[in-house]
A and B are shown apart, each in its own frame.
Chain A
Amino acid sequence: MGERLTTSTLLVTEEDEKKHEIIRAKGEGKELTKEEKQRLRKEKKQHKKNKKDDRGPPEKEKEKEKASVPAPSKPATQSPAHKAAPVPVNASASESPVAAEKPAKSKAELRAERRARQDSERASKQGKKEGGQQSTSSKPKATPNELQPVVKRLPDHVQVDDPVALKKLAKKLERQQKSGQGCSLNITGVKVPLRSDYGYKVSLFSHLHQYSRKNPPTQQISIPVTVIHPSIVRLGLQYSQGIIAGSNARSVALLHAFKQVIQDYSTPPNEELSRDLVNKLSPYISFLSQCRPLSASMGNAIKYIKKEISNIPSQCKEEEAKRILQECIDSYINEKIILASEAISKYAIEKISDGDVILVYGCSSLVNHILCEAFEKQRKFRVIVVDSRPRLEGREALRRLVKKGIRCTYVLISALSYILPEVSKVFLGAHALLANGYVMSRVGTSQIALVAKAYNVPVLVCCETYKFCERVQTDSFVSNELDDPDDLIVTRNGKTHLENWQTVKSLGLLNLVYDVTPPDFVDLVITDLGMIPCTSVPVVLRVKNVDQ
Chain B
Amino acid sequence: LDPTLKSQIREDPDVASAVAAIRSLLEFLKRDQSETILGLRENMTKAIQRLEETDSSVAVSSGGELFLRFISLTSLEHPDLSQCKNVMIERGELFLKKISLSRGKVGKLCHTFIKDGAKILTHSSSRVVLKVLENAAADNKRFTVYVTESQPDSAGKLMAQKLHNLNIPVTVVLDAAVGYIMEKVDLVIVGAEGVVESGGVINKIGTYQMAVCSKAHNKPFYVVAESFKFVRLYPLNQQDVPDRFKYKADILKTVKDLNQEHPMIDYTPPSLITLLFTDLGVLTPSAVSDELIKLYL
Interface residue ranges, A against B (CB under 8 Å): 351, 425, 458, 460, 523-524, 529-533, 535-536, 539-540, 543
Contact = CB atoms under 8 A, between A and B. Distances in A.
Interface residues of B, number: 14
Contact of A536 (B232, B236, B237, B286): B286
Given A533-B197, A533-B198, A533-B199, A458 B289 contact: no
Given A533-B197, A533-B199, A535-B286, A523 B293 contact: no
B255 interface: no
A425 B236 contact: yes
B270 interface: yes
Contacts of A543: 293, 297
With a 10 A CB-CB cut-off, give which of A524, A532, A536 has the most chain B CB atoms: A536
Given A524-B198, A543-B297, A535 B289 contact: yes
Interface string B55-84: 000000000000000000000000000000
A523 B286 contact: no
Interface of B: 197-199, 232, 234, 236-237, 240, 270, 286, 289-290, 293, 297
A425 to B, nearest CB: 7
B293 A458 contact: no
A536 B289 contact: yes
Contacts of B232: 530
Given A351-B236, A425-B236, A532-B197, 15 more contacts: A351-B240, A458-B236, A458-B237, A460-B236, A524-B198, A524-B236, A529-B297, A530-B232, A533-B270, A536-B286, A536-B289, A539-B289, A540-B293, A543-B293, A543-B297
Nearest to A540: B293
15 contacts: A351-B240, A425-B236, A458-B236, A523-B198, A523-B236, A524-B234, A529-B297, A531-B234, A532-B197, A532-B289, A533-B270, A533-B286, A536-B290, A539-B290, A540-B293
B243 to A, nearest CB: 11
A interface SS class? mixed
Nearest to B199: A533
Contacts of A539: 289-290, 293
Contacts of B290: 536, 539
B297 A531 contact: no
A543 B296 CA distance: 13
A344 to B, nearest CB: 14
A532 B234 CA distance: 8
Closest CB pairs A-B (n = 8): A458-B236, A535-B286, A536-B289, A531-B234, A539-B290, A533-B198, A533-B289, A532-B289
A348 to B, nearest CB: 11
A263 to B, nearest CB: 38
